[in-house]
């Protein structure tokens, strides 16, 4: 397993994949540790998260640089990602005791009835490369707090990040079997899911990967949570504050080099402000600096791999062939590394690639619509439903439109983002289940009904 810097093509490190025997030993450690970890008081488990948060902040520059080198994230965004991981650890350290507390329910006068929240056991997390720390910690923090133990199958191009996460949790006091990285190929995932010692699976990734994992887990009757792709609409109404909206639009499309499931991808703009929005948007996208992700001045780094850039460019070419116009960018940059420039397409046919597929890079499809009603129709005309945003000066109108979106995470005058305090996840082909907040910690627990009848012991 090789870690390669996408900016330079330099091989950073190689890692031996785990053998079947090593995977078996890891699963056995997970089972053994679960028996003890679940019995620790929740406050003690949360203490590990507090220590992990401190270590993450101490090492934020180191881990931010690691992400820049492994998958091309601009360094400041990498450091910010590590800080966000510290936040989710602190959030669950503070809230998990309350979220896992027994829920007493009134029933019969002579009975005590409650719902307890009990861990399931070893949970497998299949995680992507685009947010190599955050995606893992938003799984690890609630599950470790709940008393589960974690097994991480990370993307094959970020093995260094995977091992760094295991290291920081171990240094924070998590026992060896509480969180383990499995350096295995995607082809070995099915056998891990099928193993009786694994009790549940969560995946963040492509729709294709989600279907495969869900099929295998379904045969084994194991709980799954899937966070899959997105083609998020960014709806601009006629009363939107254009200057501020454009600033947010650029960030929404190009953060993480445009490689984000919840990036704004389809910019649906009402006709009366279309020209002004487009002119400002193209100018702002053109002003972005594309370059070395380790340079603090860089806004957009390389795509994570050459093949990913080629797939993105193919989507652009197919859309242009279908009738879209290139207002900015549209060709890979002539330099070493898989650099794709900020790109804006206009006159986008609604059945073209950039309107129907997830574009995983800094390519924006700008779509003109006559009015709000059509904007909502276009926004919902997708097989995906992860996030959506609407931009307007009328907050009541904005909330009404947000409620009309067919998506899991809907924002008014803010781009879509994940936040430990609110549930995160999608509908339609963007997956099911929720991460973060109270909903996230309850996904992989047994919500057990306990009924204690006092009738036989009453005088």
- Rounded Cα distance, 256 and 81, in Å: 10
Q: Provide the domain count of the chain.
A: 2
Write down the pLDDT at residue 459.
55
- Tell whether 66 and 83 lie within a shared domain: yes
Share of the chain above pLDDT 90, in %: 99
Write down the pLDDT at residue 125.
98
Average pLDDT over residues 226-253: 98
State the pTM of this model: 0.97
Work out the pLDDT band at 372, boundaries 50, 70, 90.
very high
Question: Roughly how many angstroms between the first and final C-alpha of the chain, as a whole number?
Answer: 69
- Tell whether 290 and 330 lie within a shared domain: yes
Q: Using CA atoms in the order 351, 353, 359, 365, what is the torsion angle rounded to 10 degrees? A: -60
- Rounded Cα distance, 184 and 127, in Å: 12
Write down the pLDDT at residue 457.
76
Tokens of 82: 């590590």
Decide: helix, strand or coil at residue 67.
helix
Closest among 132, 176, 179, 134 to 156, alpha carbons compared:
132
- Tell whether 390 and 318 lie within a shared domain: yes
pLDDT tens-digit profile of 100-128? 999 999 999 999 999 999 999 999 999 99
- Tell whether 267 and 140 lie within a shared domain: no
- Tell whether 312 and 391 lie within a shared domain: yes
- Tell whether 152 and 262 lie within a shared domain: no
Average pLDDT over residues 365-386: 98
What's the domain range around 331? 232-412
Indicate the DSSP class of residue 199. Answer: -
- CATH number, domain of 146, equals 3.40.605.10
With 90 as the cut, is the pLDDT of residue 419 above it? yes
Question: Which residues carry out catalysis?
Answer: 227, 261
pLDDT tens-digit profile of 171-208? 999 999 999 999 999 999 999 999 999 999 999 999 99
Write down the pLDDT at residue 458.
62
Average pLDDT over residues 224-244: 98
With 70 as the cut, is the pLDDT of residue 399 above it? yes
With 90 as the cut, is the pLDDT of residue 456 above it? no
- Rounded Cα distance, 192 and 20, in Å: 10
pLDDT tens-digit profile of 245-279? 999 999 999 999 999 999 999 999 999 999 999 99
- CATH number, domain of 311, equals 3.40.309.10
Mean pLDDT for the chain? 97
């Amino acid at each position: 397993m090789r870690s390669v810097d996408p900016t330079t093509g330099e091989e950073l490190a190689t890692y031996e994949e785990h053998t079947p025997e090593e995977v078996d030993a890891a699963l056995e450690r997970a089972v053994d540790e679960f028996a003890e970890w679940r019995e620790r008081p929740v406050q003690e488990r949360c203490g590990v998260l507090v220590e992990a948060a401190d270590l993450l902040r101490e090492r934020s520059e180191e881990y931010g640089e690691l992400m820049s080198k492994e998958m091309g994230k601009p360094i400041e965004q990498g450091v910010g990602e590590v800080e966000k991981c510290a936040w989710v650890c602190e959030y669950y350290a503070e809230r998990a005791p309350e979220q896992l507390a027994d829920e007493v329910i009134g029933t019969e006068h002579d009975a005590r009835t409650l719902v307890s929240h009990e861990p399931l056991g070893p949970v497998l997390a299949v995680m992507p490369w685009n947010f190599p720390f955050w995606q893992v910690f938003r799984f690890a923090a609630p599950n470790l707090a709940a008393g589960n133990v974690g097994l991480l199958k990370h993307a094959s191009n970020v093995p260094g990040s995977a091992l760094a996460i295991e290291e920081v949790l171990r240094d924070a006091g998590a026992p060896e079997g509480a969180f383990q990285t499995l350096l295995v190929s995607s082809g070995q995932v099915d056998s891990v899911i099928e193993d009786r010692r694994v009790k549940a699976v969560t995946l963040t990734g492509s729709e294709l990967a989600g279907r495969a994992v869900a099929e295998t887990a379904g045969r084994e009757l194991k709980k799954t949570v899937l966070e899959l792709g997105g083609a998020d609409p960014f709806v601009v109404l006629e009363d939107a504050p254009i200057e501020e909206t454009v600033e947010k639009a650029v960030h929404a499309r190009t953060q993480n080099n445009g490689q984000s499931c919840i990036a704004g991808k389809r910019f649906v703009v009402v006709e009366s402000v279309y020209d002004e929005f487009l002119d400002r948007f193209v100018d702002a996208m053109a002003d972005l600096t594309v370059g070395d992700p380790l340079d603090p001045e860089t806004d957009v780094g390389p795509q994570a791999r050459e093949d990913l850039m080629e797939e993105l460019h193919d989507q652009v070419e197919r859309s242009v062939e279908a009738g879209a116009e290139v207002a900015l960018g549209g060709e890979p940059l002539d330099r070493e590394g898989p650099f794709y420039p900020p790109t804006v397409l206009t006159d986008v046919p609604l059945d073209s690639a950039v309107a129907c597929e997830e574009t995983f890079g800094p390519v924006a499809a700008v779509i003109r619509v006559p009015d709000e009603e059509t904007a909502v129709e276009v926004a919902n005309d997708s097989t995906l439903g992860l996030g959506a945003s609407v931009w307007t000066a009328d907050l009541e109108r904005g909330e009404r439109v947000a409620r009309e979106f067919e998506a899991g995470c809907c924002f008014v005058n803010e781009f879509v983002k994940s936040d430990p305090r609110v549930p995160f996840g999608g509908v339609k082909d963007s997956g099911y289940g929720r991460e973060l907040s109270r909903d996230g910690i309850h996904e992989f627990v047994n919500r057990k009904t306990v009924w204690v009848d006092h009738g036989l012991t009453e005088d």
